[in-house]
Amino acid sequence: MNISNLTPLRIYADVIATGSFTAAAALHGITQPAVSFHIRNLEDSMGVTLIAREGRRAIPTAAGVELLKQFAKVERATEELVREMTQFTESDATSLRIGTGSTACATLIPAALRLLRRSLPRTHLSIITGTTPEITRQLVANDLDIGIVTLPVQERSISTTRLLDDEIVLVAPISMNLPAEITPQSLEEHPAIMFQSAQVTRALIDGWFAQAGMSFRPTMTVGSLEALRALVGLEMGYAILSRLAIAPGALPDQLVVRSLSPQLHRTIGLAMRRDEPVSRAVEVFSAAIKVATA
């Protein structure tokens, strides 16, 4: 169900959420001039300026902040109306099955889903966590519509799009007295803790050590990022993991995060079947995750 007269308000909310006319246009499947047209008409109809600029980012004026507050109430009432009307029609129902790793699920997915809900509020979401090989197999089997994976993916039936580069870093207790450069040799005498689900990242770490003629042999493997961070905090060892897994402010003061030498990165991307038509839900989610990772 679409209540069209709310479209300018939804577009305005997405311009502010993303800070960009271009990003909002991608979310709504329209052009950037069309977004500008909607915003201009909205400002003209209300007789106030709603958007200011902070560098290249669009931010709300005082009037714009108040509009967003009131629109939130209107949108909640609209969603309730849509739910009430569901008993009369199911024709606009849709679903989206997303595969993602644990780190991306916690850090990248939430912002994208908030944007998705604005455009397709009745989408039924299924979010499955797993490793890149597991997600790839489920995409091939058509058990998922889209995946967030570590690139590259070798399966020919799967197309991929790069989202961002993610640095692989060291997390260690201050008591390790780390040298200026974190090389494989500098870690040789220290115990390591590995995140169990990070199969592709583990291969990258193995390769990093192998380049120095060494083997990576963690003394402990855990299945929870929270447990891993706690164990490092208890000085049970160091961990090498994705910088995405380190939420701002999530690490206690006794831990440090350091880049490796040579530096190590992985590439995060979107994956989907080549032979499947792109649904509106997949299209909107793809645009939303690109905005969330820009």
Percent of the chain with pLDDT over 90: 63
The answer, yes or no, to whether residue 22 has pLDDT greater than 60, is yes
Instruction: Classify residue 126: in a domain, yes or no.
Output: no
pLDDT at 249: 62
Please check whether residue 141 lies inside any domain of the structure. Answer: no
Last residue of a domain, one of 90, 119, 148: 90
Whether 91 shows a pLDDT value over 60: the answer reads: no
pLDDT at 226 over 50: yes
Average pLDDT across the chain, whole number:
89
Same domain, 78 and 169: no
| Cα→Cα distances 238→101, 104, 197, 201, 259, Å | 22, 22, 17, 15, 13
Q: What angle do CA 49, 51, 55 make, to 5 degrees?
A: 135
Indicate the number of domains in the chain. 2
CA dihedral 37, 40, 45, 46 (to 10 degrees): 140
pLDDT at 4 over 60: no
Residue 85: per-residue pLDDT: 66
Look at residue 250 in the predicted model and tell me its pLDDT: 61
pLDDT at 248: 60
Cβ neighbours of residue 124 under 8 Å, at least 6 residues apart? 93, 94, 95, 96
123 lies in a domain?
no
Q: Looking at 26, 56, 90, which one is the last position of a domain?
A: 90
Predicted local distance difference test score (pLDDT) of residue 102: 84
Q: Cα dist. 154→8, 79, 151, 233 in Å?
A: 42, 42, 9, 37
Q: Point out the least confidently predicted range of 103-107, 130-134, 214-218, 283-287.
A: 103-107
For position 8, which CATH number holds?
Answer: 1.10.10.10
Domain boundary residue, one of 90, 107, 137: 90
* Length reported for the chain: 294
**How many whole angstroms separate alpha carbon 209 and alpha carbon 196?**
18
Whole-number Cα distances in Å, 229 to 4, 34, 57, 121, 235 = 47, 47, 35, 36, 10
pLDDT surpassing 70 at residue 90:
no
Strand ranges for the chain from DSSP E: 51-54, 57-60, 94-100, 123-129, 146-151, 158-173, 192-195, 220-222, 238-242, 255-273
Which CATH number fits the domain that encloses residue 184?
3.40.190.10
Any domain includes 186? yes
Query: Tokens 């850090």 — which residue?
Result: 107
Instruction: Give the per-residue SS3 of 176-239.
Output: HCCCCCCCCHHHCCCCEEEECCCHHHHHHHHHHHHCCCCCCCCCEEECCHHHHHHHHHCCCCEE
Residue 112 lies in a domain: no
Q: Are strands 220-222 and 51-54 parallel, antiparallel or unpaired?
A: unpaired
Check residue 30 and give its pLDDT.
Answer: 92
Residue 263 has a pLDDT of 97
> Does residue 95 lie within any of the structural domains?
no
Q: What is the dihedral sign for C-alpha 205, 207, 213, 219? A: positive
Task: Give CA–CA dist 195/137, Å, rounded.
Answer: 21
22 part of a folded domain: yes
Q: Which domain holds residue 2?
A: 1-90
Query: Given a cut of 90, is residue 114 above it in pLDDT?
Result: no
pLDDT tens per residue, range 168-211: 999 999 999 899 999 999 999 999 999 887 778 889 999 999 99
72 band by pLDDT with thresholds 50, 70 and 90: confident
| Amino acid residing at 105 | C
Q: Which residues pair with 146 in a beta bridge?
A: 98
- The per-residue pLDDT for 280 is 86
